[in-house]
Structure 1
């Protein structure tokens, strides 16, 4: 073994082989470095592009749409009886008795109460006595006039005396007519001692009692009774001037009263005042509501809800699209080149989540919903798509 090792020593690599190996290794190292530099530059460029893209705001766009239903106008109203008649005393005296109390249903002509009129009774008795006296005087004057007229053409009486007796009879007849008229007047006045219902209805007030002193006030004294017809009720509502043209006779409304919070009553507009109250800026509207079951009460408060007609020219957008700042009320739209264009708008109605725009928008506008803070007019934006989401690139 030692002899063979001595006879065949190991071969050393040649210089040419070493040089070739070094060149190959250098080329590989250079290629690795170049690939690394290219990869890093590509990633840096991609990151810069992604960063620049992220610097452009991404916005959601909505299209203005016409409303499918008109706005709802909710206003306070008051209920009044269809017909209300306060009953006043037309004769003086003392209340003899009353026949009906509050809540009583009465018919036309039904007795409500009666007044004892001792003074009027004496006046009537005196007037009747005066009538009897006047008739007696007239009868005597008639007999006298006929006797004098029978002597006409004789030389026993003068024509002047005959004419005087005839005129006296005529005057006495006139006194009889006056006395009869006075009796009739007092009888008619005595009839007012009976207080009767002027129409079918309900007694809604009684402000008197037995023995109370009654003074004929001609409508200026206290109301003794009030009779109300409540088979229908009138509803009075003060409507803002801006909504007045939308509510005309024939329009419908829904009433809700506190005592029946889950029940709706349907009413119809029958008249408007066609005038604006200068103090409140409202116009008076009158409605009628059926009350056959008597559920509604005159004098009550009610919420009156009007469904206004749809304005074909008005457009609705989300309330989140509105911008209110020093420049006023605006919305941000996307114009040419996907750049922001602000438009001033006015609101017709606020529906909470959406608003109805009266002016400033067109149906084809692209409105930015929830515009980012600091967005500027003319700034470029990107429109968000439903199926694509921007994601940052991961670093190598």
Structure 2
């Protein structure tokens, strides 16, 4: 027979048991989860590391090389006066278009005109003496034939006649020289072009450059521009005469001018290790002579350069490396980098097209470590 106090104790005991069971469940559950996490971490540490990879791709057979350059007129010259004198007048001014042979200025040299008059008089005298000496020679020869003069006298007369003829030639040459000097009193354009500087005014004393004379004009042929660019040693062997290029000014980068490589020095400058290259472009394309420009060369590659994603680089104390994968095993290899294109980088040495490299390699990755490749997202 159950007493009243026994019936009251059972519910209390059931409540206590339920509370103890709940406490056990609450305490054991987290411990089981921690155990599973530790087991998973241990399995990942002892098993192959999971990595994403990308294939090294071959670079383009041609690439663009953008370099600074400068433009100059195809021809330019500084003009001096060959004849010493004073500037009488100038017929052109700064910015004028001129043609070859056009008179630019006139030089006044009165002494030259006087020398020409004197040379003409001397030439006339020499010509008159020629007739006299020749007549004397002929007469002496006749007398020598008749026995009235000696043979020596006939030879002397003929020598004088010959000297008189030579003197005529000398006087004539001297006159021509003076006339040529007088022609130099007119400064003429050596080629079609534009006057870029006028350096004298009327009344100024001018003369030859070698005698300390001052320059009179500067003239430039701007119908064609010569663009000079220095190509670095690393690309010098790829630039060939006849190669295409594009030019633009930094003040108007949207206006592009087509050009062709026309000349290359063929020798590197030992001070800069660059190759001097020249391009000819039309002068009416908006590029100013003497301007700073950029040249975009289309350079063929003898051997395409491998390209890797920028995220594949590993920078450590050993240098710049990439993690190359072969047969599921990592090898850290040093690389020599080329140009940086942002998302991709040229690799000059270290890997070849078709190799697989690890993307975003962790710092703990080492050579000889086994990995498991997982598909890349996207």
Q: Which residue of 1 aligns with 2:7?
A: none
Equivalent pair of 1:113/1:196 in contact (CA under 8 Å): yes
Question: Is contact 1:255–1:302 with CA below 8 Å preserved after alignment?
Answer: yes
TM-score relative to the length of structure 1? 0.81
Structure 1: state its 5+ residue gaps. Answer: 1-9, 13-28, 389-396
User: How far, CA to CA, are the matches of 2:169 and 2:277 in structure 1?
Assistant: 53
- Aligned residue in 2 for 1:225: 217
Measured in 1, the distance between the counterparts of 2:2 and 2:83 equals 156
1:306 to 297, 301, 314: 297
Contact 1:97/1:114 (CA < 8 Å) preserved in 2? yes
- The equivalent residue for 1:51 is 41
Alignment of 1:55-70 (within 5 A): 55=45, 58-68=50-60, 70=62
Q: CA deviation at 1:283?
A: 1.3
Provide closer, same or farther for how the CA distance between residues 171 and 387 of structure 1 changes in structure 2, counting only shifts above 3 A. closer
Residue 202 (structure 1) aligns with: 194
Is 2:325 the partner of 1:323? no
TM-score normalised per structure 2: 0.85
SS at match of 2:67: strand
Q: Is the 8 A contact 1:332 1:371 kept in 2?
A: yes
How far apart, in 2, do the equivalents of 1:250 and 1:323 lie? 41
Gaps of 5+ in 2: 4-17
Q: Identify the structure with the greater strand proportion.
A: 2
Count residues in correspondence: 359
Pair 1:83 & 2:75 matched: yes
- Cα shift readout 1:134-173 (whole Å, capped 9, x = no counterpart): 1222222122223223323223222221221121111111
Shift of 1:362: 2.8
Change (3 A) 1:87 1:387: closer
> Alignment partner for residue 249 of structure 1, among 230, 241, 247?
241
1:280-337 deviation digits (Å, cap 9, x = unpaired)? 11111111111235x323222211122322565421111221122221221012333x
Sort the Cα spacing of 1:53 and 1:183 in 2 relative to 1 into closer, same or farther, 3 A: same
User: 364, 368, 376: which one pairs with 1:378?
Assistant: 368
Aligned counterparts of 1:349 and 1:311: Cα–Cα separation in 2: 17
Look up the match of 1:268.
260
Please state how far the C-alpha of 1:249 moved relative to its aligned partner.
Answer: 0.2
Contact 2:71 / 2:293 at 8 angstroms: preserved in 1? yes
Question: Which of 1 and 2 has greater Rg?
Answer: 1
